[in-house]
Each structure stands twice: as structure tokens, then as C-alpha cells.
Structure 1
Amino acid sequence: MITRTAKLLLLWALVLFHTLVAFNNVTDFDSNYQFVRHVLMMDSTFPSSHTHWRAIGSPAVHVAFYVGIIAWEAAIALLLWVGSVRMLRSLREPAAVFNAAKRLPILALTLSLLMWLVAFLCVGGEWFLMWQSQTWNGQQEAFRMFAVVGLVLLILMHADTDEQV
């Protein structure tokens, strides 16, 4: 039972995190919008870079990117909420039931990993060269979250048995 409880507590920590991320981006829209806008405009990357043709200057595209990120974050949070409730309800059930209840959280955490890896590290970090910016560089935070989410996902994916502690 302690193993299942540990998995559920770690999952709830990520439920809280993803909920707060989505909530903050909705209630303080402009703060992270500015981050997305500057990354897409590439206005703080190395001036001598030959990649500025990739920059996107359209405010409509900036808003679309940012709203897409918020929708992605909110979907992850919602899936985590529903999945964690299912896991809680199956906490004392046979292992097969508990393992089946992990499907939705596994999907949600995979979507989270994809967000941090694709949206922030690949697209922001490498396509828009966010790593070159002293001000608008979120790669360390993205990697930190990729690692945290990945670790919890690995722990969660470990199959439970009826004989576990």
C-alpha cells in the first residue's frame, strides 16, 4: 500500500504544479506572453546569427502560440486531475485495477514530457535559439520539469502487484 500511496502523492504534486502553471498563465496572461513573444521574435539572440529569418513578428501568431501552450497545459492538468481521482478510487483494489487506473496519468505525463521537450527545448530552444538569450531563456526550467515529470512517470509506470508493500 505504501508504494501505491507514494505514486499517488508524487502524482498529486504534479497535479498541483500543472494546475498552477495553467492558472498562472490564464490569470497573469501578459507575463509569460512576453516570454513567448520575445522567443518567437528572436530579438535577444546573437545579432550576428544567420538564423533570424526564422523569427516571427506577428502578434497574432504570438498569441496563437501562447494560447496553444496554455491549452496544452490545461489539458495536462485536467487529465492529471481525472487520472489521480481514478487512482485514488482504486488504491485498495487488486493490482490489475490499480495498474489500469494509471493509464490516464501516464498519458498526461507523456503529454507533459512532450510539451517540455518539443515546445520548449526543441522549438523554443533550438528553432528559435532561445539558448542564445540572456533574458528570455527558459531551457533550464524546461529541462528541470522534463526531468521531474520523467522521474515521476518512470515511478508510476512500474507495475504494481498484489504482493507489494
Structure 2
Amino acid sequence: MLVASNNIFDYQSNFNFVQHVMLMDTTFPGNDLMWRSISSPSAHHAAYWLIIAGEMSAGVLCVWGAIGLIRASTLPREIFSKAKRTATLGLTLGIFVWFFGFMTVAAEWFLMWQSQQWNGVQAAFRFIVCIALVLIYLNQPESD
């Protein structure tokens, strides 16, 4: 939710990032995949709002899931295990946003990895790893 909020309140900063990635204007000179670039400002804004919506949805589900887990923390194991579903959904959505959106679409389709200035691969990887570790921990079986 914090990332999505930052993107809303400081819209232009990360919008520039999305715009340059989609324009592919800082990829290796003369690459043969420039046909993938998208120059439509409307498409840039739509993609950015899709990212923000995914980030916000993942964040809301995680917070809602955490509240549910806190409420279920003193209840029987079966109920606590069922309470993990919302947080699991939020974490899974977060991995989808960061892995599919950033590592697959941005980094590979739009060749973000080629850019010295607009390369978010390392940041996306950090998010994916952190979210995945929490997801793995959360989904460990509960002991009696």
C-alpha cells in the first residue's frame, strides 16, 4: 500500500519511469526489438494505473489478511489456517505484480534491463524475494 500511495502522491516520479520503459528510449542503441515500444501517453498512464491498482490491491489484501490473522491468533488451528487465505492472496498478487509486471513485461518485453537509468530489475527482485519469503513462512503448517 505504501508503494501504491507513493505512486499516487508523487505520480510524476514513477510515471516517468514507466513512460521511459515503455518508450524503450534508453535501451541499447540499434536493438532489433524497438517495434515493441509504445509511444502512446494514454497507454503509459493506463499501464501506470494498472500497476498502482495491483500494488494497492495486494497491500489492502495483506493488511486485511494480517488483521484476520491477529483476530484468529487465539482461535483453534483450523480457523487460524483458514485465516491465512486473504494474506496469501495478497502476497500472491504482490508476486504477480512484481514478477509478471516488472520482471517479465518491463524487464524482458520492454528490455528494461538494458537501461542504465530506468532499470528496476534489482528493486523488483528485492520485492519478489521478500514477498516470497513471507508467503513461504505464512504457509507453513501450524503445530498443535
TM-score, normalising length from structure 2?
0.98
Partners in 2 of 1:81 and 1:152 — Cα distance? 13
Match of 1:92 among 71, 74, 78: 74
Partners in 1 of 2:45 and 2:134 — Cα distance? 31
Q: Does 1:133 align with 2:90?
A: no
Match of 1:112 among 87, 94, 119: 94
**How far does residue 161 in structure 1 lie from its aligned partner after superposition?**
2.5
CA deviation profile, 1:57-82 (whole Å, cap 9, x unmatched): 00000000000000111111111121
Partners in 1 of 2:130 and 2:56 — Cα distance? 18
**How far does residue 84 in structure 1 lie from its aligned partner after superposition?**
0.8
Partner of 1:32: 14
Partners in 2 of 1:151 and 1:80 — Cα distance? 14
Partner of 1:65: 47
Partners in 1 of 2:134 and 2:67 — Cα distance? 17
**How far does residue 87 in structure 1 lie from its aligned partner after superposition?**
0.4
Gaps of 5+ in 1: 1-18
**How far does residue 48 in structure 1 lie from its aligned partner after superposition?**
1.7
The aligned amino acid for 2:26 is S
Partners in 2 of 1:151 and 1:79 — Cα distance? 17
- The aligned length equals 144
Match of 1:144 among 126, 131, 138: 126
TM-score, normalising length from structure 1?
0.86
Gaps of 5+ in 2: none
CA deviation profile, 1:97-152 (whole Å, cap 9, x unmatched): 11100001001101111111100000000000000000000000001110110011
The aligned amino acid for 1:57 is S
Higher relative contact order (CA 8 A, sep 6+): 1
Partner of 1:21: 3
Matched residues, percent identical?
45
Partners in 2 of 1:75 and 1:117 — Cα distance? 15
Match of 1:45 among 14, 24, 27: 27
